[in-house]
């Protein structure tokens, strides 16, 4: 039986914990979080609540007490800040990249420059700005553009002209905010097409892809309203998406393989963990929107319930560099994830309301995110609260299952 230290306590980490615990060889789970997650707590033999996921002194102390065989780092903030480096100081390897490699997510300019330097396809026209000088001229030249803060902002650091940014003055104002916070900002051409998430297990050399998914980030019905971390996602039974061609997934795979190789050439280090490419299928191929250095939330809940291969064995292969020796399999089922969020989320969420969850229907899984579990029941906090995952033979069946569960919450 392996001992695994899991960092994080959201719905993504709940499904990671559940999938680790499904291992035929057994798994003892120690959790380092910054809040109580009742679903994860029920699966863990040890659960430490720190004042912050970035309190690496406390993380190292927990690792010394728990003696894990390896760690799994869930959220973007500890990945980007160097949790894997901190744990390595205690002799613990992590499924999650070292800080220098996690720049793939934490620095938009690092990734754009890497693709450009190594001639990897998928890049837009882009420029990196450290001041507002030249911003207006570049935005006017591009016409349609995207402004990306050069740091982690929980999925809210990107704004698009014509959607969030109605004028160039608004674009400049948002860019200046990014420069003030992170010292630089990326302004790039806007792609027209369909976005998709393509996550891969990587061991430094080998890439094993998971089923593709599509994330819907807008807060309100009809894909409107402000961006969130993700309100819901879907994946299809053939592990592709209705708008994708096989050549699109192959192109995305080849970009990830090339980026993995470039990361090693650039840093001398091997990236071990999850590489999550946000891609766009356009009329003449595939473009890279961004990389994340961990599982997507919600996308982890689309793919991990379908995983047939021992997840602990996959993690060990990632750390040993032997993913090519494993036959990683996923069930051929469709999935739909829907989040329950507080009224007013994400701008002015109404927190502290009690919710009641009815019987979870067959074919649905429920994962806890940011809920406050008290003696008399569950209460909403200020963020995404519960995720329901409908699983079915078709997308329609999976969606109906997820919706029936959502409707049971009062």
What is the rounded average pLDDT for all residues in the chain?
96
| pLDDT grade for 27, boundaries at 50, 70 and 90 | very high
| pLDDT grade for 395, boundaries at 50, 70 and 90 | very high
pLDDT(352) > 90: no
| pLDDT grade for 95, boundaries at 50, 70 and 90 | very high
pLDDT for the residue numbered 203: 99
What domains are there in the chain, each with its CATH number? 2-98 (3.40.50.20), 125-189 (3.30.1490.20), 193-331 (3.30.470.20), 333-409 (3.90.600.10)
The tens digit of pLDDT for each residue in 186-196 reads 999 999 999 99
pLDDT for the residue numbered 233: 97
pLDDT for the residue numbered 187: 98
**Percent of the chain topping pLDDT 70:** 100
- The stretch 123-149 carries a mean pLDDT of 97
pLDDT for the residue numbered 157: 87
The tens digit of pLDDT for each residue in 292-314 reads 999 999 999 999 999 999 999 99
- Cα 32 to Cα 63, 275, 290, 353: the distances in Å are 9, 22, 28, 27
pLDDT for the residue numbered 262: 99
pLDDT(22) > 80: yes
How would you write the chain as a 3-class SS string? CEEEEEECCCHHHHHHHHHHHCCCCCEEEEEEECCCCHHHHCCCCEEEECCCCCCHHHHHHHHHHHCCCEEEECCHHHHHHCHHHHHHCCCCCEECCCHHHHHHHHCHHHHHHHHHHCCCCCCCCEEEECCCCCHHHHHHHHCCEEEEECCCCCCCCEEEECCCECCHHHHHHHHHHHHHHHCCEEEEECCCCEEEEEEEEEECCCEEECCCEEEEEEEECCCEEEEEEEEEEEECCCCCCCCCCHHHHHHHHHHHHHHHHHHHHHHCCCCEEEEEEEEEEECCEEEEEEEECCCCCCCHHHHHHHECCCHHHHHHHHHHCCHHHCCCCECCCEEEEEEECCCCCCCCCCCCCEECECCCCCCEEEEECCEEEECCEEEECCCCCEEEEEEECCHHHHHHHHHHHHHCEC
The tens digit of pLDDT for each residue in 154-183 reads 767 899 999 889 999 999 999 999 999 999
- Cα 329 to Cα 109, 202, 310: the distances in Å are 34, 15, 9
pLDDT for the residue numbered 58: 99
Lowest mean pLDDT among 189-198, 220-229, 400-409: 220-229
Residues 6 and 17 sit within 8 Å (Cβ to Cβ) = yes
pLDDT(251) > 80: yes
| pLDDT grade for 250, boundaries at 50, 70 and 90 | very high
Q: What is the pTM of this model?
A: 0.95
The tens digit of pLDDT for each residue in 304-348 reads 999 999 999 999 999 999 999 999 999 999 999 999 998 889 888
pLDDT(215) > 90: yes
């Amino acid at each position: 039986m392996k001992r695994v230290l899991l960092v994080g306590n959201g719905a993504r980490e709940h499904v990671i914990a559940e999938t680790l615990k499904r291992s035929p060889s057994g798994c003892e789970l120690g959790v380092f979080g910054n809040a109580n997650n009742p679903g994860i707590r029920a699966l863990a033999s040890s659960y430490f609540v720190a004042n912050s996921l970035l309190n690496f002194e406390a993380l190292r102390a927990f690792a010394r007490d728990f003696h894990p065989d390896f760690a799994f780092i869930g959220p973007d903030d500890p990945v980007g800040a160097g949790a894997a480096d901190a744990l390595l100081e205690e002799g613990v390897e992590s499924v999650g990249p070292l800080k220098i490699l996690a720049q793939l997510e934490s620095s938009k300019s690092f990734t754009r420059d890497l693709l450009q330097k190594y001639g990897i396809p998928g890049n837009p026209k882009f420029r990196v700005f450290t001041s507002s000088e030249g911003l207006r001229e570049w935005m006017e030249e591009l016409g349609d553009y995207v402004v990306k803060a050069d740091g982690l902002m929980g999925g809210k650091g990107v704004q698009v002209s014509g959607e969030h940014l109605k004028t160039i003055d608004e674009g400049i104002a948002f860019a200046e905010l990014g420069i003030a916070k992170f010292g630089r900002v990326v302004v790039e051409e806007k792609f027209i097409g369909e976005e998709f998430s393509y996550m891969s297990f990587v061991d430094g050399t080998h890439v094993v892809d998971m089923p593709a998914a599509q994330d819907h980030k807008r807060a309100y019905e009809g894909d409107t309203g402000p961006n969130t971390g993700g309100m819901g996602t879907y994946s299809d039974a053939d592990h592709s998406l209705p708008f994708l061609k096989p050549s699109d997934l192959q192109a995305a795979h080849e970009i990830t393989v090339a980026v993995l190789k470039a990361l090693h050439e650039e840093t001398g280090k091997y990236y071990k963990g999850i590489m999550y490419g946000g891609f766009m299928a356009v009329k003449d191929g595939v473009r890279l929107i961004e990389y994340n250095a961990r599982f997507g939330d919600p996308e982890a809940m689309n793919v991990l319930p379908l995983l047939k291969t021992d997840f602990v064995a996959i993690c060990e292969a990632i750390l040993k560099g032997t993913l090519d020796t494993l036959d990683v399999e996923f069930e051929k089922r469709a999935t739909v994830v829907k989040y329950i969020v507080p009224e007013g989320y994400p701008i002015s969420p109404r927190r502290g309301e009690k919710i009641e969850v009815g019987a979870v229907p067959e074919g649905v899984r429920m994962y806890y995110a940011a809920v406050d579990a008290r003696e008399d029941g569950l209460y909403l906090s200020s963020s995404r609260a519960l995720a329901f995952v409908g699983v079915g033979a078709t997308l329609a069946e999976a969606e109906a299952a997820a919706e029936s569960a959502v409707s049971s919450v009062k």
